[in-house]
Amino acid sequence: MSSRRFCWKGSPLPANDYLEELALLSEAAEAAGEVALRYWKHAPSAWEKADGAGPVSVADLAVNDLLESRLRGARPDYGWLSEESVDDPARLSAKRIFIIDPIDGTRAFLNDEGSFSHALAVAENGHVIAAVVYLPVMNLNYTAVADGHSLLNGRPIHPSQTTQIDGSTVLTSRLSDDPRQWEGEIPDYRRSFRPSLAYRLCLVAEGRFDATISLRGAWEWDIAAASLIAERAGVLATDRKGKPLHFNTPSAQMNGLVVAPPVLHAEYIRRIRPLPLP
């Protein structure tokens, strides 16, 4: 990864410290990719987490250790929320916090697929101000700051112009095909899937898909970084009720996720049942 990826082509430079935060995240993401690739396709030890929380591997933990050392070493007063760290309630009183998924899409990583990502964000008072989603195998680097435009490898990205839910392309799991999740009939969308939720949001931000939805709870570390990238590209990212996302909460979890351009987003919100299945 070279520094040219983080230039702001076509966008004014923010008049604050957000770019400093982005530079720190970018350097850490590059280092995370180097660590991850040392394990990728080498059958790292892995096991299932408790309570059906999915797989974790020695690679996830190694990347987490690297990121925590680099980021907290640079900003020792920041809070820390990571999928692979024991949660420290002290983060709730921090003005700024790192929200990290060391390897988002661990199943893809363990299956030797290249669609896993490193998702890194800085949030301030509940709002993400700088974000990186980096896919080292695919050489894709999505970045954003709170007052700039989202970039992919240094170039601005834009979402689709789709406004109708029927016929739209949506990244989501099979859970979305359950008729009980919808008001009325299931929409006639075209469903696809990617293991990394952060990558799904970025694909919507760059217009390769029209929407992504998650009708189960969504963890903050999966969506913090990519939600800013989506929003700064011109996409709405909310929970399944249409409420704005707020980060560094006690539960670190959202009531689902709906991400789409504004008109299409309104259509999805109108059709999705506001409460998850019991």
Specify whether the CB–CB gap between 233 and 206 falls below 8 A: yes
Q: Which residues line the annotated binding site for Mg(2+)?
A: 83, 101, 103-104, 222
**Angstrom distance (rounded) from CA 223 to CA 198:** 6
**Angstrom distance (rounded) from CA 37 to CA 43:** 12
3-state class (DSSP) for residue 77 = coil
Whole-number Cα distances in Å, 89 to 77, 106, 128, 141, 152:
14, 26, 19, 31, 34
Q: Which residues line the annotated binding site?
A: 83, 101, 103-104, 222
**Angstrom distance (rounded) from CA 241 to CA 148:** 27
Specify whether the CB–CB gap between 183 and 146 falls below 8 A: no
